[in-house]
Amino acid sequence: MLKLKNVTKVFLKNTPDEVTALSNVSLTVKEGDFITIIGSNGAGKTTLLKAIMGFCSIDSGSIELMGKDITRTPPHQRAKYMGRIAQDPGASVCAVMTIEENLAMAALRGRRRGLRIAVNSRNRAYFKEILRRLELGLEDRLSTRVGTLSGGQRQALALLMATLAKPKLLLLDEHIASLDPKTAEQVMQLTNDLVTKERLTTLMVTHNMKEAIRWGERLIMMHEGRIILDISGEEKRCLEVGDLTEKFHKVCEQEFAVDRMLLSV
Ligand SMILES: Nc1ncnc2c1ncn2[C@@H]1O[C@H](COP(=O)(O)OP(=O)(O)OP(=O)(O)O)[C@@H](O)[C@H]1O
Ligand SMILES: [Mg+2]
């Protein structure tokens, strides 16, 4: 349902700071796939998601979604098919609006927007019900401005918003990285429930190897703008952290740098 062919993205081209964030990336994602993406700082993970969403133009290659070439489709037109949570906590919600207004806006993704029409007693009850699942007490705070919520509460709300309109593609960029361990576990369990129940096609970036191994059915490792490992099926189910570092070593012929991926194991 998603096909990237030889996608290349170079930032600051022809300057001394030139960086190839994506180098000939090809990737085919099947409908219902739940894929985790792991890689060191600067590997190109966020750029990959941004290229798919259309937030950054690509220098060469093509992107196809549900059989349609979207390489040059502007981001607002792609948005109706995609739910996402950005890496930056809070960037996926609107701080000056209330919880129910944020949810109403998310429910209308891809349709004409009008908040007065969107928040009514029927969807208010539904919002309460889905907020209750977070177990963060947000169901009793529908009129609270999102700007006053903690980072974790915002990311949890962002997850509900990203999945509310049943997107064709869910793109999660380290959405639990800034949460305390207990909230992170809760939000991750909920993510898994939503993704598996609704069979949402999902790309989830994480810097934590254990999480990348634990969730999803396919694991992709990126390094210096390339996909260097793509593991699925039985191999993915039996995978352990040691196997991953060993595979990295084999492919890249270099030791695994001590970075967030290892530190957070
Ligand atoms: N807007 C930009 N301008 C210039 N360089 C950029 C820009 N965005 C990303 N880069 C560079 O592209 C490379 C890939 O960045 P990207 O944000 O995709 O990495 P990442 O894998 O998400 O890393 P992290 O784990 O730190 O989030 C990095 O070297 C980064 O400095
Ligand atoms: Mg990133």
Q: Look at ligand 1, atom 19, and give the residue with the nearest C-alpha.
A: 42
Q: Which among 208, 160, 169 has a CA at the least distance from the CA of 187?
A: 160
Q: Using an 8 Å Cβ cutoff, are 71 and 63 in contact?
A: yes
**Could you tell me where the DSSP H helices lie in the chain?**
45-53, 75-78, 99-107, 115-118, 121-132, 151-164, 181-197, 209-214, 233-237, 241-252, 260-263
213: Cα within 13 Å, side-chain hemisphere? 15
19 lines ligand 1 (CB under 6 A): yes
d(CA 228, CA 248): 8
Inform me whether the pLDDT recorded for 265 exceeds 70: no
41 lines ligand 1 (CB under 6 A): yes
Beta strands 2-11 and 60-65, pairing class = antiparallel
- Burial of 194 by CB count in 10 Å (0-12 exposed, 13-18 middle, 19+ buried)? buried
Q: Which among 238, 241, 232 has a CA at the least distance from the CA of 211?
A: 241
Q: Look at ligand 1, atom 7, and give the residue with the nearest C-alpha.
A: 11
Q: Which among 162, 183, 184 has a CA at the least distance from the CA of 174?
A: 184
- Which of 10, 13, 19, 206 to mutate for ligand 1's pocket (most ligand atoms within 8 Å of CB)? 19
Domains, the chain:
2-93+170-263 (3.40.50.300)
Q: Using an 8 Å Cβ cutoff, are 144 and 165 in contact?
A: no
Mean pLDDT of the chain: 89
pLDDT cut 70: percent of the chain above it? 92
The tokens for 91 are 């960037």
Q: What confidence tens digit (pLDDT) does each residue in 63-104 have?
A: 999 999 999 999 989 988 999 998 777 788 999 999 999 999
Q: What confidence tens digit (pLDDT) does each residue in 45-62 have?
A: 999 999 999 999 999 999
Of the pLDDT bands very low, low, confident and very high (cuts 50, 70, 90), residue 146 is very high
What is the reported pTM? Answer: 0.90
- Burial of 113 by CB count in 10 Å (0-12 exposed, 13-18 middle, 19+ buried)? exposed
